């Protein structure tokens, strides 16, 4: 089924707006994937904030022209599914994780930060922890010196408390010993 000119322009407009918001684009060949598996992939992608689209490659090339994803225009051949995400690693994670369990989904490449990524580049991007995990790790690193300082101060206070308590019990014993 072919699209008329106005439908093609609408598709290009939609994908152009997706590309403008996205940080990452991942492409994968989906030849031979069952409808049920494709539905699972789309559901997983939606839950992670990734938009998956099956597009005609000529429309995809036109849509990303002038964007940071233009660098992979020459790789847009064959039956591809395009994953756009605002999170830098979400699209790569969704596609790479699904490709691990389904050998019919073959990662073809992607783009991030205006640079083209090959298959290994997409897999490396997918191995980076999510933004939330990285923020939690950063917060933990920032809290670590503060909590260590607090523990040291608490230990010093406890030690001084023990040190002051011991002479206080010795003092009355000395006082009793002197009058005798």
Domain that holds residue 170: 130-180
pTM over 0.85: no
Q: Which residues pair with 80 in a beta bridge?
A: 29
Q: Are residue 13 and residue 34 in the same domain, yes or no? A: yes
Q: Are residue 47 and residue 81 in the same domain, yes or no? A: yes
Q: Are residue 76 and residue 139 in the same domain, yes or no? A: no
Residue range 106-145, pLDDT digits in tens:
999 999 988 998 989 889 888 888 777 888 888 888 877 8
Q: In this predicted model, which residue has the larger pLDDT, 150 or 94?
A: 94
> pLDDT above 70 covers what percent of the chain?
89
- Please state the domain count of the chain: 2
Q: Are residue 18 and residue 31 in the same domain, yes or no? A: yes
Model confidence at 19: pLDDT above 60: yes
Tell me, what's the pLDDT at 154? 87
Residue 15 phi, psi dihedral angles, 5° rounding: -70, -35
Q: Are residue 24 and residue 98 in the same domain, yes or no? A: yes
């Amino acid at each position: 089924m072919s699209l008329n000119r106005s439908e093609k322009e609408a598709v290009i407009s939609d994908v152009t707006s997706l590309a403008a918001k996205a940080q990452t684009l991942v492409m994968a060949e989906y030849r031979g994937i069952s409808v049920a598996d494709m539905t699972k992939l789309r559901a997983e992608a939606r839950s992670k904030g990734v938009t998956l689209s099956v597009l005609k490659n000529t429309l995809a090339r036109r849509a990303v022209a002038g964007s940071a994803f233009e660098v992979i225009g020459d790789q847009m051949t064959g039956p591809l599914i395009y994953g756009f995400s605002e999170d830098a690693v979400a699209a790569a994670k969704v596609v790479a994780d699904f490709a691990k369990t389904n050998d019919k989904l073959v990662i073809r490449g992607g783009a991030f930060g205006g640079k083209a990524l090959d298959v290994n580049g997409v897999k490396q991007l997918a191995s980076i922890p999510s933004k939330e995990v990285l923020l939690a790790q950063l917060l933990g690193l920032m809290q670590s010196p503060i909590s260590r300082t607090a523990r040291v101060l608490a230990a010093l206070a406890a030690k001084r408390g023990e040190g002051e308590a011991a002479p206080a019990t010795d003092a009355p014993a000395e006082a009793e010993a002197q009058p005798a």
